[in-house]
Amino acid sequence: MVDRNGARGMTQTPTPKIPIPCEFDDLSNCPVRSVLDRIGDKWSTLLILQLQDGPKRFGVLRRSLPDISQRMLTQTLRNLQRDGLVDRTVFDTVPPSVEYSLTDMGQSLLTPIAGLVNWAQVNQPSIQDSRDSFDHAAAQIDGARQVRAG
């Protein structure tokens, strides 16, 4: 079977239907939405991946993700800590040192994240092709509108 978009002639294998975990009239309490809000942001998944090999200090995390600001790194680590995915350990040294590590729950996210990473790597060329096709078609439509309006 060819995928709906025909992108790169990929075939789709039938997958079991996944039940919707919450009622559409009460999405505010949907656990999937809550988790995706956290791990679906720009930095959380990347930080979880950085912590998979063990505890790291703030500066090491900052250097491993050079595009993240200090403020955003702090905020993202606090959010992950608040959700129970990351532990923050302060050592009684002068000056004090702090390490961040994954909790057991954070570790349990590595398997689904690995699946997502694999999916992204396999499908990125098709996604980029689709984006390019969409953008090209949109540019042609915009150009035709400008010609008619001009």
Query: Which residue has tokens 């996604």?
Result: 127
Residue type, 150: G
For residue 149, how many other CB atoms are within 10 A of its CB? 6
CA 4, 10, 11, 12 torsion: positive or negative? negative
Tens digit of pLDDT for each residue in 24-48?
666 677 777 778 888 889 999 999 9
Chain segment 104-135, per-residue pLDDT in tens: 999 999 999 999 999 999 999 999 999 999 99
What is the DSSP secondary structure assignment for residue 56, as one 8-state letter?
Answer: E
pTM of the shown model = 0.74
For residue 3, give the nearest of 141, 129, 138, 137 by alpha carbon: 129
Side-chain-facing half-sphere of 134: CA atoms under 13 Å: 8
